[in-house]
């Protein structure tokens, strides 16, 4: 998981049709208690927030990687950081409705996410440090919330998550790092296997780059390759960045 920098130019699909749909949803909420109580479900238009131009803009901003696990993928969803339909504070809670319906088409609330992170793990989870601060309507200020899942657009994941070898862990056991790792499945088995394979290959290159029996020019080239693997556009870049920092000792 790394910091994501989205383009300032918001896709026109969201600016026009997204704003119109947002107004419609707010009007429904204002005039119908059944929506306010979560009895009626809001209908969302995936052809707007999931439009090809919106999705491609996110994919490009994220270097073709999932916003959570950093796996390169051509198959994925437009994920809502704050759930549009409902939310859960914990896994034992029922899904509370309505969710953050007014953010369904908000550019700042959208990310590209692999199907596994989105559908099998994060789903409707959106825990807060203080649930009493939850914005339960569009007039409430979301800035008062303190989400326990990292927002990679607003926060640098490196402040909360590090890798020892190919396993993610919360830095000094911080709650935001722990919740993010758990809720997005960053240490799930299949993903661990993929990261391990990448880690072992790059580790071999690193060890060769430190081998004094190899010509200096060759070692320099190997070291350059290793450092390039930690660049933002590379798969599992935070893992490799941490590995270089720890000299691949784990």
Q: What is the pLDDT of residue 62?
A: 98
DSSP secondary structure code for residue 194 in this structure: H
Q: What is the pLDDT of residue 71?
A: 97
Preceding peptide of 98 cis, ω within 30°: yes
Burial class (CB in 10 A: 0-12, 13-18, 19+), 5: exposed
Distance CA 80, CA 100 (A): 9
Q: Is the dihedral of CA 133, 136, 112, 185 positive or negative?
A: positive
Beta bridge partners of 169: 162
The pair of structure tokens assigned to 62 is 């994220």
The most distant pair of C-alpha atoms in the chain lies apart, rounded to whole Å, by 76
Mean pLDDT, each 10-residue run in order, the chain (250 residues): 96 97 96 94 97 97 98 94 96 93 97 96 96 86 94 97 97 98 96 95 96 95 97 98 94
What is the DSSP secondary-structure string of 101-161?
A: GGGTT-GGGEEEEEHIIIIIIITTB--BSSGGG---STTS-GGG--BSS--TTTS-GGGTE
Q: Tokens 């009007």 — which residue?
A: 27
Burial class (CB in 10 A: 0-12, 13-18, 19+), 45: middle
CA 24 to chain centre: 28
Burial class (CB in 10 A: 0-12, 13-18, 19+), 167: middle
Alpha helix positions (H), the chain: 12-13, 19-31, 33-36, 46-49, 52-61, 115, 175-183, 189-209, 216-228, 237-245
């Amino acid at each position: 998981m790394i910091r994501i920098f989205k383009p300032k130019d918001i896709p026109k699909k969201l600016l026009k049709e997204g704003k119109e749909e947002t107004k419609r949803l707010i009007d429904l909420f204002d005039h119908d208690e059944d929506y306010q109580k979560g009895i009626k479900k809001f209908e969302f238009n995936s052809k707007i927030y999931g439009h090809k131009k919106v999705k491609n803009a996110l994919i490009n901003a994220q270097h073709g990687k999932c916003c959570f696990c950093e796996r390169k993928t051509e198959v994925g969803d437009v994920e809502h950081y704050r759930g549009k339909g409902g939310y859960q504070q914990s896994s034992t809670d029922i899904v509370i409705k309505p969710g953050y319906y007014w953010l369904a088409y908000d550019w700042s609330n959208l990310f590209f996410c692999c199907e596994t992170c989105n559908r099998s793990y994060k789903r409707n989870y959106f825990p807060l440090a203080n649930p009493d601060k939850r914005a339960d309507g569009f007039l409430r200020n979301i800035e008062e919330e303190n989400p326990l899942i990292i927002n990679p657009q607003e926060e640098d994941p490196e402040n909360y998550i590090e890798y020892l070898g190919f396993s993610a862990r919360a830095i000094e056991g911080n709650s935001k790092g722990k919740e993010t790792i758990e809720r997005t499945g960053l240490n799930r088995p299949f993903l661990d296997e993929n990261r391990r394979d990448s880690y072992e290959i790059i580790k071999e290159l690193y060890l060769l780059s430190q081998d004094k029996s190899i010509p200096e020019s060759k070692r320099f080239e190997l070291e350059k390759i290793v450092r390039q693997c930690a660049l933002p556009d590379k798969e599992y870049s935070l893992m490799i960045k941490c590995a270089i920092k720890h000299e691949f000792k784990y």
